[in-house]
Amino acid sequence: MRTFSGAITHLCIAGLACARAVTSDVSIALGPLTYNSNTKTWSQTAAVTNSGKTALTGPLSLVLADLSSDATLTDGNGSTVCVAPAGSPYVNLGLTNNELTPGQSAQETLEFSASPTARISFKSEVAGAGAR
């Protein structure tokens, strides 16, 4: 197994190479967590900005590694199989023309199911093209 930067690793699943980490090429800004007592859910805005000098070709996904055990990402696109740690929820970023150009940002709202007293935490990583 070949390891790239961060926790995302490279191996092959059904002929598709695992996504490579592009976390070092972006900045990730997380807004405050807000609890909605009507829906009994938490929400948080995440903005991923290309801080590099070249465009990043998608798909790109925000991976929530080590999400606290008392929270569930309710609006995710799936869970990782080959991006470590396996089972991490992720959200695909909405990209224009399937790329994130230098200085461009993609913003997503994360929604969590958790108690009003939960302490939601995770490590933000961004996965590039490949199997999640």
User: What is the identity of the amino acid at 37?
Assistant: S
pLDDT surpassing 90 at residue 15: no
Q: Which amino acid is at 48?
A: V
Q: Are 104 and 49 in contact (CB under 8 A)?
A: yes
- When pLDDT is averaged across residues 65-85 and rounded to a whole number, the result is 95
Tell me what pLDDT residue 131 has: 93
pLDDT computed for residue 11 by the predictor: 46
pLDDT level of residue 14 (50, 70, 90 thresholds): low
- Which residues lie closer than 8 Å to 38 by C-beta, 6 or more apart? none
Domains of the chain: 2-127 (2.60.40.290)
Under a CB-based contact definition with an 8 Å cutoff, are residues 111 and 60 in contact? no
- CA-to-CA dists, residue 89 to 92, 103, 104, angstroms: 10, 26, 24
pLDDT per position as a tens digit, 16-48:
799 999 999 999 999 999 999 999 999 999 999
The reported pTM is 0.86
- The yes-or-no verdict on residue 74 having pLDDT over 90 is yes
